[in-house]
């Protein structure tokens, strides 16, 4: 009798966690969120998880072992003041940005060949090479990017970061150095660390969770 009562309580608790209109078979983002609507390239897009319980990760992100360097495991904290975030936080930033909050920008730091395979809805592509002086980016080009994409202003050669956007950065995952490179480049030019958010899990974690991608 006691076991049956415990089982009933567990079933009731599970039911209470389901969002309105959801079934026990739904694959939600969180207990209270089935999907999130964001804007990507001017088009309304829904972020949700793949509903097929037999779905598996795409082969590009099933690989566990890549040569290091360059594909080394990144630390959980890149630099003091930079917040490392997860999927739910990224979706919140994407929702806010799509709702008209122009103080946020979500950056896919990967090279275009990777982006063509799919990216996170609402992200714009800024390849890590475009902020990297060792790869040929000039200070003038970097200054233009910071003004056009990140909301930084410049006067007499000095950057003003007062209205700089909250930059949410990601790349392929915890073994990828492309978003860390972009972040380190921004810091080098004085970008405030507290205005940088790093989604360390990147596309690998996004794909593993079956979340929506766009091309």
- The answer, yes or no, to whether residue 155 has pLDDT greater than 80, is yes
- The answer, yes or no, to whether residue 50 has pLDDT greater than 70, is yes
What's the mean pLDDT when you consider all of the chain?
A: 90
The reported pLDDT for the residue numbered 157 is 82
The reported pLDDT for the residue numbered 180 is 98
Give the integer Cα–Cα distance in Å for 120 and 9. Answer: 38
Q: For residue 124, which of 166, 170, 181 has the smallest C-alpha distance?
A: 170
The reported pLDDT for the residue numbered 4 is 41
Structure tokens given for 1 = 């009798």
Structure tokens given for 122 = 């609402």
- The answer, yes or no, to whether residue 3 has pLDDT greater than 50, is no
The reported pLDDT for the residue numbered 10 is 36
The reported pLDDT for the residue numbered 132 is 96
- The answer, yes or no, to whether residue 92 has pLDDT greater than 90, is yes
Q: What is the pLDDT of residues 160-182, one digit of tens each?
A: 999 999 999 999 999 999 999 99
- Give residue 68's pLDDT band: very low, low, confident or very high (50, 70, 90): very high
Q: Are 113 and 69 in contact (CB under 8 A)?
A: no
pTM for the full predicted model: 0.88
Q: What is the pLDDT of residues 96-144, one digit of tens each?
A: 999 999 999 999 999 999 999 999 999 999 999 999 999 999 999 999 9
List Cα–Cα distances, 47 to 16, 40, 68, 140, 176, in angstroms: 23, 11, 33, 36, 23
The reported pLDDT for the residue numbered 22 is 57
Q: Fold for domain 21-208?
A: Oxidized Rhodanese; domain 1 (3.40.250)
Q: Are 166 and 105 in contact (CB under 8 A)?
A: yes
């Amino acid at each position: 009798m006691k076991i049956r009562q415990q089982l009933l309580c567990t079933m009731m608790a599970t039911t209470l966690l389901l969002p309105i209109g959801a079934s026990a078979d739904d694959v939600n983002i969180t207990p209270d969120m089935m999907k999130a609507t964001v804007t990507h390239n001017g088009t309304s897009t829904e972020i949700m998880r793949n509903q097929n319980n037999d779905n598996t990760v795409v082969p590009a992100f099933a690989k566990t072992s890549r040569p290091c360097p360059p594909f080394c495991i990144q630390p959980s904290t890149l630099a003091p003041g930079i917040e490392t975030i997860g999927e739910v936080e990224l979706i919140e930033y994407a929702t806010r940005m799509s709702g008209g909050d122009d103080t946020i920008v979500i950056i896919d730091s990967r090279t275009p060949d990777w982006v063509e395979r799919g990216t996170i809805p609402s992200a714009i592509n800024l390849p890590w090479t475009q902020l990297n002086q060792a790869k040929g980016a000039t200070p003038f080009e970097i200054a233009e990017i910071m003004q056009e994409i990140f909301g930084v202003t410049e006067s007499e050669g000095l950057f003003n970061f007062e209205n700089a956007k909250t930059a949410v950065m990601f790349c392929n995952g915890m073994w990828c150095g492309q978003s860390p490179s972009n972040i380190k480049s921004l810091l080098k030019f004085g970008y405030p660390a507290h205005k940088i958010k790093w989604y360390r899990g990147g596309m690998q974690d996004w794909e593993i969770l079956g979340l929506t991608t766009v091309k």
